[in-house]
Amino acid sequence: MESLRLIKAGGALIEDPEACSALLDSFAAIQGPKVLVHGGGRSATAFAARLGVPVKMVEGRRITDSAMLEVVTMVYGGLVNKNLVASLQARGVNAVGFTGADLGLILCDRRPAGEVDYGFVGDVRKVDVSLLSLLMDKGAVPVIAPLSHDGKGSMLNVNADTIAAEVAEALAACYRVSLEYRFEKRGVLAADGSLISEIDSASFQALKSSGTVSGGMLPKIKNALDALGRGVSEVYIGETLIH
């Protein structure tokens, strides 16, 4: 099976011009099939402010009302995605930008309102990478924005880590997939700031119980372990190998 690297690049890496340029240089240098999944939350927040669209967050997660859906569709699907595509084309990479709506790549259900109504936020129902694989066979490199659709005509805001994991799992049917969460930190850090180089299910439980790992890192590691259970060959969070 051919190897494929799927890189999810967090907001700070994409939105700082120097960090983004370095990321794209190293991404362009990867040989063989590859996919880039990006965020863009800081830009969305900045444009929302300029447009007078209130930013509402609950426990670090964005509430996406219809005005915010317009903002993220513009910023993730347009500004961030197309500038990454143009920047990769300039580096000789035949990049092609997608959301989950394009080619029916990712079908989502709008998350039902519970204690919190997250608005136009999607949970993944189905991923179809058949035409994506066809393009990759011809050397095309997908650049995927954290957006999808509900199959009924509405776009939806989707967590970029989740999109990365779902697409990685679907591609694992035809490739040996390495899923790599790249962000502004070195990886999963211990209490003393040192890098934890490897984590497995057992050590994750210990890190969680001791409180060494907390906050947004918990779902990231959980996603990683889930992806490994669903055919992905290896997962990195920064430089930390999850296995």
Nearest CB to a second copy, comparing residues 62 and 220: 62
Q: Which residues, 114 to 133, sit near a second copy by CB under 8 A?
A: 131
Order of strands, sheet of 3-9, starting from the edge strand that comes earlier in the sequence: 95-98, 141-144, 34-38, 3-9, 176-182, 234-237, 240-242, 198-199
Nearest CB to a second copy, comparing residues 12 and 140: 140
CA–CA gap between residue 130 and residue 128 (Å, rounded): 6
Nearest CB to a second copy, comparing residues 24 and 235: 24
Q: How far is CA 223 from the centre of its chain?
A: 11
Residue 151 one-letter amino acid: G
CB-CB contact of 52 with 122 (8 Å): no
Q: Which residues, 181 to 200, sit near a second copy by CB under 8 A?
A: none
Nearest CB to a second copy, comparing residues 22 and 195: 22
Nearest CB to a second copy, comparing residues 7 and 72: 72
Residue 154 CB, shortest distance to a second copy, in Å, is 6
- Residue in 133, 139, 213, 225 with CA at minimum distance from that of residue 181: 225
In the three-class reduction of DSSP (H, G, I as helix; E, B as strand; rest coil), residue 152 is classed as: coil
CA–CA gap between residue 99 and residue 158 (Å, rounded): 10
- Is 18 a binding residue for a second copy by CB under 8 A? The answer is no
One character per residue 55-74, x = contact with a second copy (rule: CB under 8 A): ---------------x--xx
CA–CA gap between residue 117 and residue 122 (Å, rounded): 12
One character per residue 81-120, x = contact with a second copy (rule: CB under 8 A): xxx-xxx-xx---xxxxxx-xxxx----------------
- Interface residues toward a second copy, by CB under 8 A: 47, 50-52, 70, 73-79, 81-83, 85-87, 89-90, 94-99, 101-104, 131, 134-135, 138, 140, 147, 149-155
